[in-house]
Amino acid sequence: MSTDFIQAVTANRLSDGFVVYLTAQDRWSEQIEDCQSADDRGAAETLFARAQQLAAGAQIAGPYLFKIARQDGRPIPLGRREIIRTTGPSVGTDLNKG
Amino acid sequence: MYRYDEFDHAFVAERVAQFRGQVARRMAGELSEDEFKPLRLMNGLYLQLHAYMLRVAVPYGTLSALQMRKLAHIARTYDRGYGHFTTRQNIQYTWPRLGQVPDILAELAEVEMHAIQTSGNCIRNTTADPLAGVAADEIDDPRVYAEIIRQWSTLHPEFSFLPRKFKIAVTGAPNDRAVTRGHDIGLRMHRDGDGAPGFEVMVGGGQGRTPIMAKTIRDFLPVDQLLSYLEAVLRVYNQLGRRDNIYKARIKILVQSVGAATFAEMVEAEWQEIRDGALDLPAGELDRIAAYFAPPPHDDLSVACPALDQAISANAHFAAWEESNVLAHKRPGYAITTISLKPHGGIPGNASAEQMDAVADLAEQYGFDEIRLSHKQNLILPDVKKTDLHALWLSLGKWGLATANAGRISDIIACPGLDYCNLANARSIPIAQRISERFTDLARERQIGDLSLNISGCINACAHHHVANIGILGVDKKGAEFYQITLGGVANENAAIGAIIGPAFDEWQITDAVETIVDVYLQQRETDERFINTYQRVGPDPFKEQLYASDQAR
């Protein structure tokens, strides 16, 4: 297993669709810094299984795993799509998440 | 304008109540997302990258001032103060909260609007020529038939679970302003030898990953037989359309695989079974619907308008706007005006709540209370006296709505792209912003003249890039956004699909590439020749040579 394989779970919050991340405390946080990450495929599967159990409630919709990198210990989303999900639209900055 | 009857009111109110219950059950955890998703989609509610998106239909693109004010109110109260007008005569709200969507739908119902069938594998909002009822070249008002199709198709039990979505567009004029050949069914009005109106029926058009222009399967269909024939087309598709592969499920693939002639025979056979029955439109019913679309009480005016001529002479900016944004009206002394939602550097199709309110006021003041949406993501006031044009232009200017670019290179159609859309591979809006900023010089834009440039953020082609003179498609290359250019697309009655010119450009090269294309055109064009005509005359090679000149040098 490659050492740079790190994944976390994201979803959209049911009430407003906002992007959220699964934390180690089984909460859903708007901050990617709070995400729990999995360093290998087995851990990722376990993490995702937990997310699916939590999704059975009515807090979030559509959980999935995505790749991150760690920079100075902070999780950085990989790929344009996940970067934009994390930061909000790159246009019309007055309309960004806030 | 069509007004709901008691049945319409009761139906939409009941639908809102149903959805309120469905949302409550979802939020209480009684419905899973898998169970809820098809229910929300049937009410136009998507889940996008950052939030929900509610798509509201504006049937055949016609709005009253009251309805526009309601759209503004919803933007202000339930969203972030703006709305996004789309190529299919819808408005999209980008940030609604799930729990408030039933309230939004209830507010829409108050002004006879809804979000039904703006998503899902059903017959979507039927679109029409935005110049319906006012265009000089029109045979008959297509909205009459679009409304009849709306009533027939709304929650049609047989066609609520089609193999894939199904889009119909109607035009009543020979000059096609509704991209009819780009639809699953396109209807174009003609007259028969006796002068009676009927439709040419075109089937199997669409863009997306397999762009195909619709084929004519019937040259002339009497208007009273419209619904039975449409029902026959839908039945053949519903039975034979592929359900095993989402990419091959649209009717265009079926028509392509069996051939248009065979498909026409199948439809004819089905039609023989059901024609001359309950779906025939009685003359009384046609007249009843047509009466809703009767022209407003125009004054008898002369063609000449010295006040307008004077204003044009006195102000070059007004003259430029009048040249690009004002079209001929069928009534003497009146004009059709395009309100551009494409300010240079702005987000194509977006309007703030304040702008929507302003347009509503101006429609009441100058335009018989009527507003239209065009597939170009602009608004139209279809009934303005020529003597009022200057005053209207001044008022529009106060709201940032007087950009003189209708039909020009900065009148860009752009989808929300990867900034908002769950399906997108690349961003569209920032590219549109940079290109339109590159062409802010009014004199230069006028010199370039009529030119369509559309940008889609993925192969689904919501921004109609295939039928743009210059089409731009965003693609993902190993995590980076790249933009592929097609040239030669046409969206009118001579609809054609553009051809890929060569390798894609990155986000920092694409604006220069567009400028190179424009430069080649200006070098090559003959007097007053439009971009598309030059391209058709000289072909892709001169463009290719300039675009990839540095590659060859390497």
Query: B193-227: per-residue pLDDT in tens?
Result: 999 999 999 999 999 999 999 999 999 999 999 99
- Residues B6, B10: Cα–Cα separation, whole Å: 6
Residue B479: band (very low, low, confident or very high) from pLDDT cuts 50, 70, 90: confident
Model confidence at A4: pLDDT above 80: no
In chain A, residues with a C-beta closer than 8 Å to the C-beta of B99 are 15
pLDDT digits (tens, 9 = 90+) for B81-115: 999 999 999 999 999 999 999 999 999 999 999 99
The length of chain B is 554
Residue A31 — left, alpha, or beta (φ > 0 → left; ψ -120 to 50 → alpha)? beta
Question: Strands B350-352 and B499-500, how do they pair?
Answer: unpaired
Q: How far apart are CA B482 and CA B75, in angstroms?
A: 33
Q: Say which of A17, A58, A88 has its CB closest to residue B29.
A: A58
B430 CB neighbours in chain A (<8 A) are 90-91
Q: What is the average pLDDT score of chain B?
A: 96
Question: H or E stretch including A13?
Answer: strand A7-13
Within 10 angstroms of residue A1's Cβ, the number of other Cβ atoms is 8
> 3-state class of B447 per DSSP?
helix
Q: State the DSSP code for A23.
A: B
- Determine, for residues A56 and B32 on separate chains, whether the beta-carbon distance falls below 8 Å: yes
pLDDT of residue A93: 55
Q: What is the pLDDT of residue A92?
A: 73
End-to-end CA distance of chain B: 62
* pLDDT interval class at B507 (50, 70, 90): very high
Residue B318 has pLDDT above 70, yes or no: yes
Interval B132-156: pLDDT, tens: 999 999 999 999 999 999 999 999 9
Contact B115, B105 (CB under 8 A): yes
Q: Which residues of B touch A91 (CB under 8 A)?
A: 347, 419, 427, 429-430, 433
- Please say whether the beta carbons of B260 and B268 come within 8 A: no
pLDDT of residue A56: 87
Contact B168, B199 (CB under 8 A): no
Pairing of strands B480-487, B499-500: antiparallel
pLDDT at B504: 98
* CB contact set of B429 (below 8 Å; sequence gap of 6+): A89, A91, A92, B347, B348, B414, B416, B417, B419
CB B173 within 8 A of CB B139: yes
Residue of B nearest to A62 (CA): B33
Asked if B42 and B117 touch (Cβ cutoff 8 Å), the reply is yes
Measured CA to CA, the distance from residue B232 to residue B225 in angstroms comes to 11
Q: B172: burial class by Cβ within 10 Å (0-12, 13-18, 19+)?
A: buried
| β partners of residue B93 | B54
Q: At B422, is the secondary structure helix, strand, or coil?
A: coil
User: What CA–CA distance (Å, rounded) separates B376 from B469?
Assistant: 14
Are the beta carbons of B185 and B231 closer than 8 angstroms? no
Tokens standing for residue B79: 């969203």
Length of chain A: 98
Question: What's the pTM?
Answer: 0.96
Distance from CA of A53 to the nearest CA of B (A): 12
For B21-65, what is each residue's pLDDT tens digit?
999 999 999 999 999 999 999 999 999 999 999 999 999 999 999
